[in-house]
Amino acid sequence: MFDGIIFGGIALFGIAYWIWSTTKDIKQYKLTKNNRFLIGPIIGILFIGLIIGLNWKNNSEFNKPTLLRAYYDGDFNGTSIDFKTDGTYIFDNHAIGFSEYVYGKYKINGQSISLDRNEIDNIIKTDILEIKDIAENGVDYLAGTYLLQIKPNGNEIERATKFRVVEDNRK
């Protein structure tokens, strides 16, 4: 949300300045017929198009269909990993209005997920994750399906973050 406020404020200021300078340059062009007065407005249009294109690309990455999404709530911060149906994932580590995204590829085989990297943002410490049902232990976890971090030998990494599965569209 904080990023949106900052981006919106900068965009509003930039568009207002571009409209003001474009109006001024077009008036000068009409008086002098000098093409150099059209350079600023054309560059502004190119930058606006570039920004809209990048925003569209980012939104299309986020809006791909989800296969599996898991989340960890750490009070003032949180972490989620969204596995898309096309074999890509978006890892989101966020705290107090700021987010850091990591993109990658994965392969799923039954309950096991293999990632394209061994560590992600000091939170995921392995390239192997496993989907597993956990019974409530009364202290740390509610009963449900979780995404666990697994060592190469097949054992769960002790004291590693467990992600609660919040959306599962596997058939």
Please give the DSSP secondary-structure letter assigned to residue 156: B
pLDDT tens-place string over residues 3-26: 678 878 888 998 899 899 999 999
Give the per-residue pLDDT at 140. Answer: 67
Task: Quote the pLDDT of residue 149.
Answer: 94
Q: What 3-state DSSP class applies to 127?
A: coil
pLDDT of residue 127: 93
For residue 128, is pLDDT > 90?
yes
Q: What is the pLDDT of residues 36-75, one digit of tens each?
A: 888 888 998 998 899 889 888 888 888 899 999 999 988 7
Name the residue among 25, 10, 18 with its Cα closest to residue 46: 18
Q: How many CA atoms lie within 13 A of 56 on its CB side?
A: 6
Cα angle, residue 169 at apex, residues 163 and 170 outer, rounded to 5° = 95
CA dist 107 and 93 (Å) reads 21
* Alpha helices, H only, 2-161: 2-32, 39-62
Cβ burial, residue 86 (10 Å; 0-12/13-18/19+): exposed
% of the chain with per-residue pLDDT over 70: 95
138-148: average pLDDT: 80
pLDDT per position as a tens digit, 81-104: 999 999 999 999 988 877 888 999
154 band by pLDDT with thresholds 50, 70 and 90: confident
Degrees to nearest 5, angle at CA 142 with 140 and 143:
135
Q: What does the alpha-carbon distance between residue 21 and residue 15 come to, in Å, rounded to a whole number?
A: 10
Q: What integer best gives the mean pLDDT of the chain?
A: 88
For residue 87, give the amino acid letter.
Answer: G
